[in-house]
């Protein structure tokens, strides 16, 4: 295996307290050099997927052009009946970032704790704006979503800034993580959707190298990483339904280098 770099990741502290994250030095492997099995098994995969979006700072263009692309991709990846995107997040470490942009998350986490499907199902009841547009675009109804037999949350992460990022993202092979290593905590700061929900902070493993971490050096805007953050079937089975991930400081990038810019989408995949 090819180690890309050694970096410090912010695991949750004792008891899983997200606000007491402790830095743990880990080897991050080059995912481009490994024969990884794909998102169904290890939780994530990189794809060549150019977008028709020309201006990644334009929220309206992202919504009108990129959401349909993301929904089509996730229907293909998962085989779901319907896929819906209702919002997105831009991230940058730039100090003078626009108000809507968020900073990279340097906590080892996954976005949803058990029970999130009830939250995401109900968000389409009496929905307006981009959520209503997602329903109209997909052809599914809020009632069908409420009664769906399975819900999978996929996330799509795309670098739209410099290929060598100051704060790239690493993904953990979910086969090396047990379900009880996630600790729920209330999250209120996610700009997309504006709702509070329980996310998962991940506690450090023993030994520290039991979790296997991967990143994809020099990502371009024509590539996307797809990863699973929720699956009602895996939750019901007591299996690892999440993919831990975290931003980290690339020690090879100068402090005065151009900051990372990225766009991420959450895609709700509905199986009737």
Every domain of the chain and the residues it spans: 4-35+43-271
Q: 85-136, pLDDT tens digit by residue? A: 999 999 998 877 777 788 999 999 999 999 999 988 988 998 889 999 999 9
Secondary structure class of 117 (helix, strand, coil): helix
pLDDT at residue 39 greater than cutoff 80: yes
26 close to 50: Cβ distance less than 8 angstroms: no
Q: 186-218, pLDDT tens digit by residue? A: 877 555 555 677 899 999 998 889 999 999 999
Output 136-145 pairs: Cβ under 8 A, ≥24 positions apart: 137/67, 137/68, 137/71, 137/84, 138/71, 138/82, 138/83, 138/84, 139/82, 140/81, 140/82, 140/84, 140/270, 144/82, 144/270, 144/272, 145/82, 145/121, 145/268, 145/270
Secondary structure class of 51 (helix, strand, coil): coil
Considering only residues 188 and 225, tell me which one the structure prediction assigns the higher pLDDT. 225
β-bridge mates for residue 82, sequence order? 270
* Helix axis angle, 129-138 to 67-78, nearest 10°: 50
Q: 1-34, pLDDT tens digit by residue? A: 799 999 999 998 765 455 555 689 999 999 999 9
d(CA 7, CA 210): 15
d(CA 193, CA 131): 9
β-bridge mates for residue 89, sequence order? 264
Residues in the chain: 272
238 close to 179: Cβ distance less than 8 angstroms: yes
Write out the E strands in the chain.
Answer: 3-11, 22-30, 44-48, 82-84, 88-92, 109-110, 150-159, 169-172, 182-187, 197-202, 213-215, 223-231, 245-247, 261-271
To the question of pTM greater than 0.85 for the whole model, the response is yes
Quote the DSSP letter at residue 12.
B
Q: How many CB atoms lie under 10 A from the CB of residue 127?
A: 15
Backbone angles phi, psi at 189, to 5 degrees: -100, 10
d(CA 176, CA 29): 14
152 close to 269: Cβ distance less than 8 angstroms: yes
Q: 43-71, pLDDT tens digit by residue? A: 999 999 999 999 999 999 999 999 999 99
Please report where in the chains the tokens 């329903």 appear, as a residue: 135
């Amino acid at each position: 295996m090819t180690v890309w770099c050694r970096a410090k990741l912010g695991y949750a502290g004792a008891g899983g307290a997200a606000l007491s994250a402790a830095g743990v030095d880990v080897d991050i492997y080059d995912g481009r050099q490994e024969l990884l099995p794909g998102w169904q098994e290890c939780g994530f995969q990189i794809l060549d997927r150019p977008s028709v979006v020309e201006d990644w700072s334009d929220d309206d263009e992202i919504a009108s052009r990129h959401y349909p692309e993301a929904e089509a991709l996730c229907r293909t990846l998962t085989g779901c009946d319907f896929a819906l995107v209702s919002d997105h997040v831009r991230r940058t470490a730039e100090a003078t970032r626009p108000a809507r942009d968020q900073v990279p998350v340097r906590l080892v986490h996954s976005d949803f704790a058990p029970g999130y499907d009830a939250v995401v199902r109900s968000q389409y009841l009496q929905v307006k704006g981009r959520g209503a547009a997602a329903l109209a675009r997909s052809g599914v109804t809020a009632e069908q979503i409420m009664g769906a037999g399975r819900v999978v949350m996929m996330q799509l992460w795309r670098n739209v800034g410099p290929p060598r990022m100051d704060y790239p993202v690493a993904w953990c092979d979910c086969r090396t993580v047990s379900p009880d290593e996630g600790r729920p905590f209330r999250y209120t700061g996610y700009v997309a959707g504006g709702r509070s929900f329980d996310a998962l902070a991940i506690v450090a493993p023993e030994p520290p190298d039991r979790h296997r971490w991967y990143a994809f050096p020099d990502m371009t805007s024509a590539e996307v990483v797809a990863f699973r953050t929720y699956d009602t079937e895996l939750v019901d089975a007591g299996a690892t339904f999440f993919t831990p991930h975290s931003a980290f400081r690339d020690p090879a990038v100068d402090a005065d280098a151009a900051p990372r810019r990225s766009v991420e989408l959450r895609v709700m995949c509905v199986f009737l």
